[in-house]
Amino acid sequence: MIDLQVRDRGGKEAGTVHCDPADLGGRVRRALLRQILIGYEANRRAGTHKSKTRAEVNYSYNKLWSQKGTGNARMSGRASPLWRHGGTTFGPVPRSYRQRLPRQMRRGALRSALLTRVLDGKVYLLTDLAIDPARAKGATALLRALAIERGCLVVTEKDAPEIYRAFRNQPRVAVRPARELNAWDVMRYPCLVMARACWETLVASLRSAGSGKEAAA
């Protein structure tokens, strides 16, 4: 068992939560986590890169000089790839980099990502995530109370516009509802901040999803 400290909004200890690594897969599956993170990065690529071929460059197709008799090397039009500003040979063309990421792989990677943060001691649990005042001032005070300086990912139980408004101007801080949480977000930010109830609900959902998979097997 791993003990996670629960703090109040002032940063003082307010209890402990016992975390069983078995609920998060039991071990960090680094190969799976790497594969999923690469997939998320690939799916973010637009794939709109494009270079012009010799047929698309805006130059004349007239032959520059005679084939023979000038003493120069034989040359075709100005759009030849051999010339500066000419066409590009085998250049990039628009394509899709999208990779298929099955649900079970995404859930397994999320478990490994959460377990990584737990083992690193980078999960900050609060008695509740209510911010007073619900403005940037309250968000700044909360981050200072938790001694968070390098940014964090704030996880809410459901859509919370007031929490988003309070944190939106904080540098390197993002807010995500638990249902949208993924391994890429967890590993992108150095630590997690969420309410105790949100953590327990998240772990319970991942535990039930994992047990369902084992039962099916």
Domain ranges of the chain: 2-45+101-216, 51-91
pLDDT mean over 5-21: 87
H/E segment holding residue 13: strand 13-19
pTM over 0.85, yes/no: no
What pLDDT, in 10s, does the model give residues 38-51?
999 999 999 999 99
- Compute the average pLDDT of residues 19-23: 89
Domain 2-45+101-216 in CATH 3.30.1050.10? no
Q: Lowest mean pLDDT: which of 6-20, 34-48, 49-63, 199-213?
A: 199-213
The residues near 18 (Cβ < 8 Å, ≥ 6 apart) are 1, 2, 3, 4
